[in-house]
């Protein structure tokens, strides 16, 4: 059980690191040599795949809620929670978005659209 918790924490940290790097690339494309654009797009695609896998595994545990095929990524799940939920899930999603996501990509979770 303890190993599973450690794996979940490590998976979340890896997802965040990939997200930060992809968002840096998104906002700083002109600083990256053109020859690296295609390989970095492959990395970004793999990051999206990893995001979906995380959402359907550890995301279920994090929010104690089954993932939906209508909301494949963790961000889509959190956006939905922020707009429709008022339980502890709302506050967890809001914290994750405010502290870990939005500093790297403003309004990525749509925090400006909520109360």
Cα torsion 41, 110, 24, 58: sign: negative
* pTM confidence score: 0.89
The C-alpha angle with vertex 18 and arms to 94 and 65, in degrees rounded to 5, equals 40
pLDDT digit string, tens, across residues 5-56 = 899 999 999 999 999 999 998 899 899 899 998 998 999 999 999 999 999 9
The first and second tokens of residue 11, run together, are 């998976």
Nearest to residue 12, comparing CAs of 77, 72, 62, 68?
Answer: 62
């Amino acid at each position: 059980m303890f190993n599973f918790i450690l794996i979940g924490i490590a998976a979340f940290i890896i997802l965040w690191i990939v997200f930060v790097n992809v968002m840096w690339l998104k906002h700083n494309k002109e600083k990256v040599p053109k020859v690296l654009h295609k390989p970095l797009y492959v990395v970004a695609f793999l990051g999206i795949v990893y995001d979906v896998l995380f959402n359907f595994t550890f995301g279920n545990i994090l929010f104690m809620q089954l993932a939906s095929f209508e909301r494949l990524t963790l961000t889509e799940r959190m956006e939905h929670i922020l707009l429709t939920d008022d339980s502890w899930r709302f506050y967890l999603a809001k914290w994750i978005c405010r502290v870990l996501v939005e500093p790297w990509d403003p309004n990525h979770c749509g925090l400006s659209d909520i109360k």
